Amino acid sequence: MKVIALPKGGGKTTELIKLCYENNGIFVCAKEDEKRNILALSKRISCNLCKVITISDLLNLNNNYNYTIMPNDKFYFDNIDYILFTIIKRKLSVSMNIDAITININEEAK
């Protein structure tokens, strides 16, 4: 697993789009408006992504998108911290303030 750690506006999403495109992966973002922005950005940089879904799509939280995960699927998560908070908030149905998180940057992590 690769971790792209750059400051805000540093090109994290652009790099992730390129990786996803090169590996024919599935790009996962937090919300529908981000999905539209990702599709537009991918066209601008000539990396037209075939599959961009939201975390709600992936987890079928909206019951309007049905995706079956296949064993060889490669996923590329943008803004994983926001995605994690979205999942926690929906699961607990409560607002929380999370002050810190850790991320395993071991290249061998699966």
Mean pLDDT by 10 residues, the chain (110 residues): 84 94 93 94 92 86 66 90 80 68 56
Q: Which residue has the tokens 């495109």?
A: 21
**Predicted local confidence at residue 110, as pLDDT:** 43
**Predicted local confidence at residue 64, as pLDDT:** 63
- Side by side, the strands of the sheet bearing 26-29 are 52-54, 26-29, 75-77
**Predicted local confidence at residue 23, as pLDDT:** 93
**Predicted local confidence at residue 80, as pLDDT:** 87
**Predicted local confidence at residue 109, as pLDDT:** 44
Q: Which residues pair with residue 26 across a beta bridge?
A: 75
What are the CA-CA distances from residue 71 to residues 15, 68, 75 (Å)? Answer: 24, 10, 11
CB 58 within 8 A of CB 66: no
**Predicted local confidence at residue 25, as pLDDT:** 93
> For helices 12-22 and 32-44, what crossing angle results, to 10°?
70
